[in-house]
Amino acid sequence: MNPTERTLQWASLFGSLDRETFLSDNWETSPLVIRGRTELSGGLMGLDDIEAVVAGADNSAAGEHGSVVAVRSDEGHTVEYPVRDGSGRVRLAAVFDAFAEGHTIVANHIARFWRPAAELCALLESELGHPVGCNLFLTPPDAVGFVPHYDAMDTFFVQVEGAKHWTLYRPVVELPFGSAFDKPRPDELGDPEMELVLEPGDVLYQPRGWVHCGRTGDRPSLHLTFGVSPYRWMDLLVERIRQVAADDISLRRAVPPGLLERPDDGDLAVVAGRLFRAVLDRPDFHDYREVLLDNVVRRPSPRDPHFEHLLRLGDTGVGSRVERRRGMRPVLLNRGDRVELGFPGSSITGPPEALEAMRFIVENAAFAVGDLPGPIDDAARVELVEVAIRQGLLRPLT
């Protein structure tokens, strides 16, 4: 099947494991191995695509250092091989040399331009509600790319070609944040918790903080890492305080110069406590849904091609059938004087009379325009669906 024509679903990655079981048993807590997802991995890329992906990663980042790197583990340290010329752009010849010398080739942020990776990112974002990116790792035989380390993101390793042996250790820092990559001291590691080999089509989910190290045997390895950058409770509260500060000048004032030079008489704690209580006492402070809508739901997400659907806008009628586009999980907000349908990349607002119709769109992935319920006429139904197509939520079927 052409990877651009397939429809990814939860089962494409997780098989028979349902979403609720994954969230309750594994999410943020314990690794999970899923075997035999060869249809998924086979549609992501192959060895013949590596040059194009490396060039795409370099071009999409405008030569930014870190978009493409070559690394290997050497006596407990990660050593980088120079792959850029004097202008800062990646030289493919240097990448070939690095690979031949035992270095792992890493191409970061490939979902920006590689559609199969972007589609799986969109699926995970839709199901998990957090931003997802994708990096490529190509490791030669008998090599170790990175020393044991942990990431500040949850990761899905999808084995595409070859095989890789993974050693996993329990976290030394539970649910870390800050640096995206860190390594523990050798005396912190303890005994391995898991040893496993990923073959093509196998998937390993690893919660952030779990220490891991991969190595190849007599075969090379090509795998993609899908990293989930969690939007945490800390982020939610900090963003809400930032929003409140836009209307409260006391939060925008500078901490007094020389504060630490004064005797500690408790003034700092008193002032900080008063400001924090004032924030918590605001009746609008606890409107967290708006923060989530802005930072999780509305954020742009990589999706399937849509311009061809816009050319059919004028054909929409009451009998037309439409469906939600891939990666779209809309949410409905009832604001009293208006209702809002939020989804990745945009939102649609309407009068209270559109509430039932919008709820129907949230609850039904595919439907006929005339099936939209509520006290609106057919012209309003067609108009709502056309707006949803134009904004990228829906696409026409017939």
User: What is the C-alpha separation between 89 and 347, in angstroms, rounded?
Assistant: 39
- Same domain (yes/no): 39, 115: yes
pLDDT digit string (tens) for 145-180? 999 999 999 999 999 999 999 999 999 999 998 766
- Look at residue 385 and tell me if it is in a domain: yes
Q: Could you tell me which of 388, 365, 370 has the C-alpha nearest to residue 7?
A: 365
3: in domain: no
Instruction: Show the domain range for 281.
Output: 233-256+266-287
- In this structure, is residue 95 part of a structural domain? yes
pTM: 0.86
Q: Give the Cα-Cα-Cα angle 311, 360, 119 (nearest 5 degrees).
A: 55
Element (H, E) at 273: helix 267-281
Q: Specify whether 205 is located in the same domain as 249.
A: no
In this structure, what CATH number is given to the domain that contains residue 48?
2.60.120.650
CA–CA dist 141, 340 (Å, integer): 53
- Residues 199, 342, single domain; the answer is no
User: Is residue 137 located within the same domain as residue 271?
Assistant: no
Cα 108 to Cα 390: distance, rounded to the nearest angstrom: 31
- Integer Cα distance of 134 and 116 in angstroms: 10
Beta strands 321-324 and 366-368: pairing type?
antiparallel
- Asked if residue 302 is part of any domain, the answer here is yes
Q: C-alpha angle 68/70/75, rounded to 5°?
A: 145
Q: Is residue 261 part of a domain?
A: no
Per-residue pLDDT of the chain (398 residues; tens, 9 = 90+): 333 445 678 999 999 999 999 999 999 999 999 999 999 999 999 999 999 999 999 887 655 667 999 999 987 788 999 999 988 899 999 999 999 999 999 999 999 999 999 989 988 988 998 989 999 999 999 999 999 999 999 999 999 999 999 999 999 999 998 766 788 888 888 999 999 999 999 999 999 999 999 999 999 999 999 999 999 999 888 888 888 888 889 999 998 887 777 776 667 888 888 888 888 888 777 677 777 777 766 666 656 788 988 998 889 999 999 999 987 889 898 888 999 999 888 899 999 999 999 999 999 999 999 999 999 999 999 999 999 999 999 999 98
User: Residues 204, 75: one domain?
Assistant: yes
Residue 99 CA to residue 161 CA, distance in Å, equals 16
Q: Are residues 379 and 280 in the same domain?
A: no
If asked whether residues 328 and 278 sit together in one domain, one would say no
Q: What is the largest CA-CA distance in the chain?
A: 76
The dihedral through the CA atoms of 242, 243, 244, 248 has a sign that is: positive
Compute the distance between CA of residue 188 and CA of residue 73 in angstroms, rounded to an integer. Answer: 19
Residues 168, 241: one domain? no
Closest CA to 200 of 227, 170, 221: 221
Q: Is residue 1 part of a domain?
A: no
Does a structural domain hold residue 5? Answer: no
Q: Are residues 216 and 242 in the same domain?
A: no
CA atoms within 13 A on the CB side of 369: 26
- Within-domain flag for 303: yes
91 and 184, same domain (yes or no): yes
Using the CB atoms, write b or e for 184-215: b if 16+ within 10 Å.
beeeebeeeebeeebbbbbbbbbbbbbbbbbb
Query: What sections of 231-266 are H helices per DSSP?
Result: 233-245, 249-252
Query: What is the number of domains present in the chain?
Result: 3
**Are 242 and 344 members of one domain?**
no
Domain CATH number, residue 313: 3.90.930.40
Same domain, 191 and 239: no
